[in-house]
């Protein structure tokens, strides 16, 4: 039986690049990609416009999965334990960049799907998809402030 959670090397990074590109198109500035520390990795750290004006920091966890997988496009992989690790990593990131500590912060989750091009919705916005080999990766959902 095929395990759809295991992806060929590079697919996860392509998903992260796709989300970074999409966020830039939304007016955000990517501050860090694949930032590593002892608690793990922050896929993306982004300075983005806040709804009430100003800016906020978003720590973005990107999950790239094939369609019809077992973990709801990666959402179930963001477990309470994973959330704890991301919070610790975010604290260490802010300790390295103390000028960002005054900005409000949030944790977002980006869900990227992999599918055959003929199985992808036709109305995808520019910048929300990329071809990778015989497959197309596209931003399935972006959950702002997915957890605290």
User: By three-state DSSP, how is residue 30 classified?
Assistant: strand
In whole angstroms, what is the distance from residue 27 CA to residue 47 CA?
Answer: 9
The more confidently predicted of residues 71 and 93 is 93
Q: Which domain holds residue 39?
A: 11-147
- Evaluate whether residue 3 is within a structural domain: no
**In the chain, how many domains are there?**
1
Tell me which of 2 and 14 has the higher pLDDT: 14
Q: Look up residue 31 and give its two tokens.
A: 């501050």
User: Confidence class of residue 89 from pLDDT cuts 50, 70 and 90?
Assistant: very high
Assess whether pLDDT exceeds 70 at residue 4: no
Provide the CATH number for the domain around residue 57.
3.40.1350.10
pTM of the model: 0.88
58 located within any domain: yes
- Domain assignment present for residue 141? The answer is yes
The reply to whether 6 falls in a domain is no
Is the alpha carbon torsion for 86, 108, 5, 136 positive or negative?
negative
In a 13 Å sphere around the CA of 46, the CA atoms on its Cβ side amount to 30
132 within some domain: yes
Is 96 among the domain residues? yes
**pLDDT digits over 29-68, tens only?**
999 999 999 999 999 999 999 988 899 999 999 999 987 7
Q: For the chain, give the percent of residues with pLDDT over 70.
A: 94
Q: Is residue 49 part of a domain?
A: yes
């Amino acid at each position: 039986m095929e395990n759809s959670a295991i992806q060929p090397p590079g697919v996860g990074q392509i998903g992260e690049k796709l989300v970074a590109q999409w966020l830039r198109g939304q007016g955000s500035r990517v501050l860090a990609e694949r930032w590593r520390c002892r608690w793990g990795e922050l896929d993306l750290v982004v300075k983005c416009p806040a709804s009430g004006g100003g800016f906020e920091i978003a720590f973005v966890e990107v999950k790239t999965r094939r369609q019809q997988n077992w973990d709801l496009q990666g959402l179930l992989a963001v477990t309470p334990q994973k959330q704890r690790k991301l919070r610790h990593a975010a604290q260490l990131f802010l300790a390295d960049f103390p000028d960002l500590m005054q900005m409000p912060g949030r944790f977002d989750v980006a869900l990227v799907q992999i599918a055959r091009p003929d199985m992808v919705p036709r109305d995808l916005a520019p910048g929300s998809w990329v071809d990778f080999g015989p497959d197309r990766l596209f931003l399935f959902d972006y959950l702002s402030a997915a957890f605290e």
